[in-house]
Amino acid sequence: MNSHIAPSAIITALLASLLTPGCFAVANLDRFEIDDVPCSATEAETRDYNYLVRDLTTPHRNQLFEMKVVEDATGRVAAVIVYDGVPDNMATPVQGTLTNALAPGTYKTRFWADLTMDRDFQRFVGGAGDHGWVEDVPPSGCFQFDHMAPFIGNVAPTDDRSRGNIRVSLIGLGDAIGDALIVRARLIPATGSEIEVGFYRLDPIPTTTTDARATLNLYDVAIVEKSYAITAFVDKNRNGSLDTGEPSFSPAAQAALPADALFELDLAAR
């Protein structure tokens, strides 16, 4: 990971942050601060992707935030993480683990926050636009970052035509409107362990299924003819964990044919 600790980088970051309302640069990348997370793996083995992104709440509360973990060698997407939007009621709102997400090799994380609030990436130029970054994933798979300038000019999501998407459509909302929804997606291989390839946190659940946010998209992560499954739950207390009394869902696995793996969730069916 780029450490941003060179003197010139610190000066650039501080100057840029002063010009950007609500953004304060803090770098503390020496250790991964999630309890009980092993960070001793190497790039020669399959390992989890552990992520921790701090200091997003003040500048990006309720905004769309997307992370794509991509292979260095091919540029292909290994995993996608979406917070739609960034929650303001959790001490460290953007953190988690995708199990077995990283095959042997090296990776980068390309991520951005929708400061312009139009749900589409806008290059950060002249102090205006969305905040984006590209950072190396450490060999251990434990990735952490503190919100800070400078902001990369272009991290627009690539359209990988060899890959499909995992799409989840909400076809019924019931009394879940206004709550949060958490969806996890995984690849089901013919042999071996399942691989988590996606995480989507929708907050709040919209008031109608015609809202653009009622379709959850994990882009460029589905391999054609491979099978995928999702689990989901309504996070009524917004703590990020499935608790007693919170509705959960496990729809049947779907193959990515011809490209997309399509799921429907009826949150009104409990």
Q: State residue 90's pLDDT score.
A: 67
Among the candidates 114, 146, 178, a domain finishes at 146
Those residues whose C-beta lies under 8 Å from the C-beta of residue 152, and which sit 6 or more positions away, are 124, 132, 133, 134
Residue 154 lies in a domain: no
Residue 22, sorted as left (phi over 0), alpha (psi -120 to 50) or beta, turns out to be left
Q: State residue 156's pLDDT score.
A: 66
Q: Are residues 221 and 253 in the same domain?
A: yes
Q: Are residues 63 and 89 in the same domain?
A: yes
Q: What pTM was estimated for this model as a whole? A: 0.85
Q: State residue 158's pLDDT score.
A: 63
Q: Considering its fold, how many domains does the chain have in total?
A: 2
d(CA 157, CA 119): 12
Q: State residue 237's pLDDT score.
A: 92
Residue 155 lies in a domain: no
Q: Are residues 13 and 131 in the same domain?
A: yes
Q: State residue 20's pLDDT score.
A: 39
Residue 91 lies in a domain: yes
Those residues whose C-beta lies under 8 Å from the C-beta of residue 218, and which sit 6 or more positions away, are 80, 82, 165, 166, 167, 185, 197, 198, 200
Which of 190, 110, 193 is CA-nearest to residue 153? 110
Q: State residue 116's pLDDT score.
A: 85
Q: State residue 117's pLDDT score.
A: 84
Q: Are residues 120 and 176 in the same domain?
A: no
Q: Are residues 92 and 180 in the same domain?
A: no
Q: Residue 134: give the domain boundaries.
A: 7-146
d(CA 132, CA 155): 6
Q: State residue 177's pLDDT score.
A: 97
Residue 136 lies in a domain: yes
Residue 157 lies in a domain: no
Task: For the chain, 270 residues long, give each residue's pLDDT as a single digit of tens.
Answer: 333 334 444 334 434 433 333 333 333 333 455 555 668 899 999 999 999 998 887 888 889 999 999 999 998 999 999 999 998 876 667 999 999 999 999 999 999 999 888 888 888 888 888 889 999 999 999 999 998 888 887 786 666 778 899 999 999 999 999 999 999 999 999 999 999 999 999 999 999 999 999 999 999 999 999 999 999 999 999 999 999 999 999 999 999 998 899 999 999 987
Q: Are residues 75 and 134 in the same domain?
A: yes
Residue 245 lies in a domain: yes
For position 207, which CATH number holds? 2.60.40
Q: State residue 188's pLDDT score.
A: 97
